Amino acid sequence: MESWFYMMVEIYAGKLPWSGVGDMDAIGQFKEARLPGNQLKVRTDAVRALVAGCPEEFITILRHIDEMRFYGRPDYSWIMKMLRAYLTENKIPEHPYDWE
């Protein structure tokens, strides 16, 4: 679920905060900094850097992902509802995919 979220951020914002960073340890440290259990300021700064330029709904979705247990099932209908609300609010039409 987290990988999907990172992909959504990259599609929307054009890049991830660690784009271009070759040091895998540094990338891991950045990803871990935003996880619950870290100091609030460190976590807040990491989340802000991750979703910079993205809609507020992304932060809400990220919180949902963070609250899940490892084997927990995401609430896909709620996530779709959040994304569709953003589309509607910003008057972005939802077109069918080529294969639909």
Count of alpha carbons within 13 angstroms of residue 29, beta-carbon side: 7
**pLDDT tens digits for 46-97?**
778 788 888 989 988 988 888 888 888 889 999 999 999 999 999 988 887 7
- Cβ(70)–Cβ(2) below 8 Å: no
Among candidate residues 32, 56, 34, 30, the one with its CA nearest the CA of residue 43: 34
* Rounded-to-integer distance, Cα 69 and Cα 12, Å: 26
pTM above 0.75, yes or no: no
CB atoms within 10 A of CB 43: 17
Q: Give 37's pLDDT tier (boundaries 50, 70, 90).
A: low
Show me where the domains of the chain are located: 2-89
